[in-house]
Chains A and B, each alone.
Chain A
Amino acid sequence: MKVMTCPVNGPRNIAEFQWLGPVHADGAPEGRELVKHLFFAPNPMGVLCEWWRHTPSNTVFIAERHLNTDTILRTYLKGAEANNASGAE
């Protein structure tokens, strides 16, 4: 069983979580930036910051995950990067 740590509910089965895609910069992009924003999503062979949701509690948070190894490095609520980060699996 793969475990993800919800910043509110602690370690839970990853089946309880929904992947919501990469974190984008705030603000409304225009022109070429809009095309990039809509269609050219990041696809790194490395760490990606992405939105996840713990579905039973509807907790939306950010996870840093390595896309080669599927290792979850950190999870935290938006704005709480520095202090409230919980380490991985």
Chain B
Amino acid sequence: MPLELLKYGLRRGHKPYGDIPPTPDLRRSYDVVIIGGGGHGLAAAYYLSNVHGIRNVAVLDKGYLAGGNTARNTTTVRSNYLTPPSIAFYKEGVELFETMSQDLGFNIMFSQRGQLTLAHSDGAMRSFRLRAEMGKHMGTRIEVVDAKTVREICPHVNMDEGGVHEVLGGLWHEDGGTARHDAVAWGYAKRAAQKGVEIHQRTEVTGMTVRDNCVTEVHTDRGTIIAGQVLQAAGGLNGRIGEMAGIPLPIRCFPLQAMVTQPLKPFLDILLSSSNLHTYLVQSSRGEVVIGGSTDPYQLASTRSSLPQKEALATGALQLIPFLHNVKIMRQWAGITDITPDFSPVMGSTPLTNYWLDAGWGTWGFKATAVAGKRMAETIATGRVPDILKPFALDRFERFALLNEMGATAAGH
């Protein structure tokens, strides 16, 4: 291999190396049309083409590949949720991340460094105990730790002894980690495209023809296509796409803002978050400290940023790690999260027979990229919703069988 690499490096007349083929012309019909070329849509395309042998697939995206929430999230992968159906689902998600680089032959830079969530109140400690016991019961690595152990795991944390935000303990989730978000999307796109999946970038869905409880045609700004099956995985635009199919969704849009500092030498080797301060920090492999928090305080469908939200993030970050006070913010951004009333996603079947949902991911879609893609591909290929997805069905709201995960956010939205 090194010799091959040397020969490759010294060869003249290199051809540019492209993982993702350019957008082809739209064909008249596809077996499966996936609306949304983010991580979830591409992962579904990968599993359809590589596992289920369904290769006549088109992935449509309004913008460029993985340019929405796949590009804007803060790359946390974890399974420390509260309800058994969620923990089972996200546990499978974390396990898929563990082998993803090998499975795809594409380095997604998965770093399973553990996530530490701090408690600054007795109430937070109580809820952590519940989450830890649920997690242990479901077989994930999670435990409640005391203040002394917090200091051992993360010596840089400001314990604020006697202060307003004194650290009383934490929730230590060893399975937690981080991965390179773009690489996850590119890896799936590359392997899907090799099997014949067509990725249509800058192709906006403008409407759908629905006949006899069935989507027959998908209209785009590049032409109309006949669709066998349709998967909706459109991130912040899920509400809008759902309307086109005539399916009202229990979704509201909120911006979620984040930012990164200038690069620093490695000092933070875990994912650090605080539910009371609505802030979390992770140091990327480039050394930048990624700072994220809760969603904006009111509903909005714009990716604009706001100073008060950035100030809140900075305040939380400085409370946790005061020596960041001289560090400059290098970039900041926002994404549109599609939030459901119980903070759990909506996956599976719809009133339409050939239309499948992968929506309502709100603030934690990235960690489920692999498992949602895998299970949605299985659903489409077999026409049957697997047991692990059934609790996330759209009709749970009519049955009042909600799956409340509001308290399991990394930053307590």
Closest residue of chain A to B242 (Cβ to Cβ) is A43
When distances are taken between beta carbons in the complex, the residues of chain B under 8 Å from A35 are 397-398
Q: Which of B208-245 contact A (CB under 8 A)?
A: 239-240
* A70 on the B face (CB < 8 A): yes
Give the contacting residue for A48; candidates B299, B302, B306, B341; CB below 8 A.
B299
Q: Do residues B398 and A19 form an inter-chain contact, with CB atoms below 8 A?
A: no
When distances are taken between beta carbons in the complex, the residues of chain A under 8 Å from B308 are 14-15
Q: Do residues A38 and B299 form an inter-chain contact, with CB atoms below 8 A?
A: no
Interface of A is mostly: mixed
Q: Do residues A2 and B398 form an inter-chain contact, with CB atoms below 8 A?
A: no
Residue-wise, chain A 15-35 has the 8 Å CB interface mask toward B (1 for contact) of: 100110100000000001001
* A58 on the B face (CB < 8 A): no
Give the contacting residue for A43; candidates B252, B298, B304; CB below 8 A.
B252
* B327 on the A face (CB < 8 A): no
Q: Do residues B301 and A45 form an inter-chain contact, with CB atoms below 8 A?
A: yes
Q: Do residues B297 and A19 form an inter-chain contact, with CB atoms below 8 A?
A: yes
Closest residue of chain A to B402 (Cβ to Cβ) is A39
Q: State whether A70 and B304 are in contact (beta carbons under 8 Å apart), knowing that A19-B297, A38-B341 are contacts in the complex.
A: yes
Residue-wise, chain B 298-324 has the 8 Å CB interface mask toward A (1 for contact) of: 111110101110000000000000000
Interface of B is mostly: loop
Give the contacting residue for B239; candidates A19, A39, A43, A48; CB below 8 A.
A43
Residue-wise, chain B 40-66 has the 8 Å CB interface mask toward A (1 for contact) of: 000000000000000000000000000
When distances are taken between beta carbons in the complex, the residues of chain B under 8 Å from A45 are 240, 301
When distances are taken between beta carbons in the complex, the residues of chain A under 8 Å from B299 are 19, 21, 43, 48, 50, 67
Q: How large is the interface on B (under 10, 10 to 19, 20 to 34, 35 or more residues)?
A: 20 to 34
Q: Do residues B341 and A69 form an inter-chain contact, with CB atoms below 8 A?
A: no
Whole-angstrom distance between the alpha carbons of A21 and B299 in the complex? Answer: 8
| Interface hub of B253, B297, B299 (most chain A Cβ within 10 A) | B299
Closest residue of chain B to A45 (Cβ to Cβ) is B301
Q: Do residues B248 and A40 form an inter-chain contact, with CB atoms below 8 A?
A: yes
Q: Which of B145-171 contact A (CB under 8 A)?
A: none
When distances are taken between beta carbons in the complex, the residues of chain B under 8 Å from A15 are 308
Whole-angstrom distance between the alpha carbons of A21 and B341 in the complex? Answer: 13
Residue-wise, chain A 65-79 has the 8 Å CB interface mask toward B (1 for contact) of: 001111000000000
Q: How large is the interface on A (under 10, 10 to 19, 20 to 34, 35 or more residues)?
A: 20 to 34
* A80 on the B face (CB < 8 A): no
Whole-angstrom distance between the alpha carbons of A38 and B298 in the complex? Answer: 18
Whole-angstrom distance between the alpha carbons of A19 and B297 in the complex? Answer: 7
Q: How far is the CB of A11 from chain B (nearest CB, A)?
A: 17
Q: State whether A68 and B341 are in contact (beta carbons under 8 Å apart), knowing that A15-B308, A43-B253 are contacts in the complex.
A: no
Q: Which of A47-85 contact B (CB under 8 A)?
A: 48, 50, 67-70
* B251 on the A face (CB < 8 A): yes
* B250 on the A face (CB < 8 A): yes
When distances are taken between beta carbons in the complex, the residues of chain A under 8 Å from B250 are 39-41
Closest residue of chain B to A1 (Cβ to Cβ) is B307
When distances are taken between beta carbons in the complex, the residues of chain A under 8 Å from B304 are 70
Q: How far is the CB of B21 from chain A (nearest CB, A)?
A: 32
Whole-angstrom distance between the alpha carbons of A39 and B301 in the complex? Answer: 19
Q: Do residues A68 and B301 form an inter-chain contact, with CB atoms below 8 A?
A: yes
Q: How far is the CB of B305 from chain A (nearest CB, A)?
A: 11
Q: How far is the CB of B367 from chain A (nearest CB, A)?
A: 24
Q: How far is the CB of A39 from chain B (nearest CB, A)?
A: 4
Whole-angstrom distance between the alpha carbons of A36 and B252 in the complex? Answer: 13
Whole-angstrom distance between the alpha carbons of A14 and B308 in the complex? Answer: 10
Q: How far is the CB of A30 from chain B (nearest CB, A)?
A: 14
Q: Which of B94-118 contact A (CB under 8 A)?
A: none
Closest residue of chain A to B340 (Cβ to Cβ) is A39
When distances are taken between beta carbons in the complex, the residues of chain B under 8 Å from A68 are 301-302
Q: How far is the CB of B397 from chain A (nearest CB, A)?
A: 4
When distances are taken between beta carbons in the complex, the residues of chain B under 8 Å from A32 are 398
Question: Which residues of chain A have a CB within 8 Å of any CB of chain B?
Answer: 1-2, 14-15, 18-19, 21, 32, 35-36, 38-41, 43, 45, 48, 50, 67-70
Question: Which residues of chain B have a CB within 8 Å of any CB of chain A?
Answer: 239-240, 248-253, 297-302, 304, 306-308, 340-341, 397-398
Could you list 19 further interchain pairs (A-B, Cβ under 8 angstroms) beyond the known A19-B299, A41-B250? Answer: A2-B306, A15-B308, A18-B297, A19-B298, A35-B397, A35-B398, A38-B341, A39-B250, A39-B397, A40-B249, A40-B250, A43-B251, A43-B253, A45-B301, A50-B298, A67-B300, A68-B301, A70-B300, A70-B302
Give the 7 A-B CB pairs with smallest separation, nearest first: A19-B298, A39-B250, A39-B397, A43-B239, A39-B341, A43-B252, A67-B301
